[in-house]
Structure 1
Amino acid sequence: MRAYHPLAAALLFGLSSLADAQPALPTNAMHALTWRHIGPFRAGRTKSAVGVPQQPNVFYMAVTNGGVWKTTDYGRTWNPIMDDQPTGSIGAVEVAPSDPNIVYVGSGEGLQRPDLSVGNGMYRSADAGRTWTRLGLRDGQQIPRIAVDPVNPDRLFVAVLGHPYGPNSERGIYRSVNGGRSFERVLYKDENTGGADVVLSPDDPNTVYAVLWEARQGPWENAAWSGKNSGLFKSTDGGATWTPLAGGLPTTADGLGRFGIGIAPSNPRVLYVTATAGDKSGIYRSDDAGATWRRTTT
């Protein structure tokens, strides 16, 4: 099974939606721009990154077995901010859109690969990463995504993938309405199927899209497999009820693996999905809030 990197997918979604929202530039407008490495200078994978809209100089990044790093000078220098915590394996970092001091971190990278690392639950900072409180979901082991309500920093959804090598019950999509002091599981299949992604519609935080992924790592390298319970789901009542989405997306008959999902900020009815599904792998687009889909690239 070929894996898609969630951060790469998120960047692609962001660039696509930005292109839709902005007027066309002259073809030579960016010819003088070049890429450069802004650090931090370390080996390994970068699993998640987020900026702070109210503070354009501030960014957080999460790396596997490297903790969380923060820059306050547009990436010129980076500082580790979670080295005093009992895990360095990070799957997700998110800043509350309405309060940049509140930062949530999900531990456990959630990439389902031979050299993965697991975590020990959720963390929260109320002072922009200076101090941390350890929360729950400690047996989830892999937390690949967090979605925070745009107006209520205490309301969040968490995708919990679960144990990579065996079954466990703490999997699926969880919701908290009290800043992570407690979590309620709102979408669940079984002890083999976990949550791989979750996003909120930018115009309605009660509209939630989530991905479940039935996956397992084997006892030897490259022995991974995906099962029949993987899929994309939608809720329009804040996670109380869920509807599976299909309408042109790959199915288990196609060898479905993992979905990743993003929403165009300029038009919440436009959705993009990355799919691993054999010869039907690729990027899919919906223009009607998930009712129907078409593949845009392989």
Structure 2
Amino acid sequence: MTKKITLTAVLFLSISLGFGQKLDMSLIKNLKIRNVGPANMSGRITAIDVHTANTKLIYLGAASGGVWKSENGGSAWKPVFDDQPTQNIGAIAIQQNNPDVVWVGTGEGNPRNSMNLGMGIFKSLDGGKTWKHMGLEKTKTIHRIIIDPQNPDVVYVGALGDPFTPNEDRGLYKTTDGGQTWNKILYTNDQSGIADLVMDPKNPNKIFAAMYEHRRTPYYFTSGGTGSGF
């Protein structure tokens, strides 16, 4: 607080000198600095899901700020992922027929000048109170999660992959046993991953996937290539 007041005083003094006027320091001796927001700084929001039967129940994930839960339509939020080994979130999915089951994919899937890598996918069976790591750690970034509405043991995970290193741990993954095992069912090359993923709401066997080839280093960024496609 003292530092803030001092900096403010210096600013006023600089302005005063700039206009050639003498500043009466007594005018700011009781100045009190207050925070006007934002209340929480957790990084950009990368994922959000809502329980369709109870729209007051919302989960959201921040690029570097963990998972947050609201039970009153967003008027109040509480962190539910703080005890986990990573806070970099890329995707969230609520099991709609049982909202106590929540899936979280870690690692931000937005290739930009900075990206926050993760360590796989996590699952909660009690509304975010506890979490279990369910694998896919090497994917580094998980961009989309879709749960089959007819069979919640079937889950699709779209991984964009590590943007800094060519590798095969990327693409579209599927589990049929609730995350115990995973199969990679779509892959184009070692620099391409899932940019978006959509399921036909009337037919869960129909899935649309967008693949995106990209590579980032500390010095340059490449976008597009033979691995990209729909």
* Corresponding position of 1:231: 229
Residues 14-25 of structure 1 aligned to structure 2 (within 5 Å) = none
Number of the residue aligned with 1:14 = none
C-alpha distance after superposition, 1:112-144 (max 9, x if no partner): 111111000000011111110001110000101
Aligned to 1:99: 98
- Helix, strand or coil at the partner of 2:169: coil
Secondary structure, counterpart of 2:211 in structure 1? strand
Report which structure shows greater RCO (CA 8 Å, sep ≥6). 1
- Structure 1 CA distance for aligned equivalents of residues 203 and 128 of structure 2: 28
Which residue of 1 is the match for residue 127 of structure 2?
Answer: 128
Show CA shifts across 1:155-192 (max 9, x none): 11110111111111111101111111111010111211
Taking structure 1 as the reference length, the TM-score comes to 0.63
* Separation of aligned partners in 1, 2:55 and 2:217: 43
Instruction: Please give the alpha-carbon distance, in whole angstroms, between the structure 2 residues aligned to 1:95 and 1:41.
Output: 24
**Partner residue in 2 for 1:190:** 189
Deviation at 1:40, TM superposition (A): 6.5
Q: Which runs of 5+ in 1 are unaligned?
A: 1-38, 233-298
Q: Partner of 1:231: helix, strand, or coil?
A: coil
Partner of 1:73: 72
Runs of 4+ in 1 over 4 A off after TM superposition: none
Corresponding residue of 1:254: none
Q: TM-score under structure 2 normalisation?
A: 0.80
Distance 2:39 2:160 in 1: 28
Q: How much does 1:108 deviate?
A: 0.4
| Structure with the higher helix share, 1 or 2 | 2
Cα shift at 1:151: 2.2
Task: Please list, as runs of the form range in 1=range in 2, the aligned pairs for 1:1-298 lying within 5 A after superposition.
Answer: 41-220=40-219, 223-232=221-230
Does the CA-based 8 Å contact 2:102-2:128 persist in structure 1? yes
Per-residue CA distance 1:26-54 (angstroms, 9 max, x = gap):
xxxxxxxxxxxxx8632521001111012
Q: CA deviation at 1:218?
A: 2.4
After superposition, the Cα gap between the structure-2 partners of 1:125 and 1:214, relative to the gap in structure 1 and judged at 3 Å, is same
Question: In the TM superposition, what whole-angstrom CA distance separates every residue of 1:229-264 from its partner, at most 9, and x where no partner exists?
Answer: 2111xxxxxxxxxxxxxxxxxxxxxxxxxxxxxxxx
Q: Percent identity among equivalent residues? A: 37
In the alignment, structure 2 segments of 5+ residues that lack a partner are: 1-37
- Looking at structure 2, the residues matched to 131 and 40 of structure 1 have their Cα atoms a distance apart, in angstroms, of 26
Instruction: State the SS of the aligned residue for 1:139.
Output: helix
CA contact (8 A) 2:171 2:188 kept: yes
C-alpha separation in 1, matches of 2:118 and 2:223:
21
Letter in 1 for 2:223: W
